[in-house]
Amino acid sequence: MKVLYTATMLVALSGIPAKAQSAMPWKATEVNGQCNYMKMFADTGLTTVGFQSNAALDGKVFTAITNRNWSVAAGDQIIGPLTIQTDTVSAEGVPVAGAHLVGAAIPVDMLTRFVKADPRTVEFRLGSKLLARLDFIGFKSGWTAFAACMAKSTTAGAEQTSPPKAKPFGN
């Protein structure tokens, strides 16, 4: 099941044009009841952080970090956990690998505490190794729209039969 969400996150992140060379703001979208929240940073390899939720994740948010310069590939054995941390709060999950991607399903309550801390600088670690230190200014305000999408998809529970269309929402 985790591999499916890794593949889905890769598709969502691969929709970012390869020629894009600058940061993108936090952006929330919904596709057929699946909520996505992501940002691309203007660093070496254009690090991108994405959060994904749908009813099938059962109270968890698939959290992924990608970088085009990383050599990680699908099926690689990852020594974890994947940890997202600030000075005061952290969230972690069992990692999975994808092409240039490390991700984990993290319980929503852990991420809610993380968001309430209104993080500014955030570190992503794999075990003790620092993957990235990123500026998360603006993260909390957009998370509100993502959380609303999660609540809506959890209560709706109905699958749509029309083809997927990305719908921006929130900030």
- Contact present, 87 and 63 (Cβ < 8 Å): no
Predicted local confidence at residue 37, as pLDDT = 92
Rounded CA gap, 84 and 130, in Å?
10
Strands 90-93 and 129-135: unpaired
Smallest CA-to-CA distance from 126 within 59, 63, 69 is with 63
| pTM across the whole model | 0.73
Rounded CA gap, 169 and 29, in Å?
6
Predicted local confidence at residue 50, as pLDDT = 92
CA distances from 76 to 64, 103, 159, 168 (A): 15, 12, 32, 33
Architecture of the domain delimited by 2-155: Sandwich (2.60)
Rounded CA gap, 51 and 58, in Å?
14
Tell me the average pLDDT of the chain: 75
pLDDT < 50 positions in the chain: 1-21, 158-171
- Contact present, 95 and 78 (Cβ < 8 Å): yes
43-62 pLDDT, tens digit each: 888 899 999 987 777 888 89
CA distances from 117 to 61, 62, 89 (A): 18, 20, 7
Length of the chain: 171
Domain boundaries, the chain: 2-155
CA distances from 93 to 23, 28, 30 (A): 26, 22, 23
Predicted local confidence at residue 11, as pLDDT = 39
**Type and span of the H or E element at 52:** strand 48-53
Predicted local confidence at residue 18, as pLDDT = 39
Rounded CA gap, 24 and 41, in Å?
7
Predicted local confidence at residue 154, as pLDDT = 63
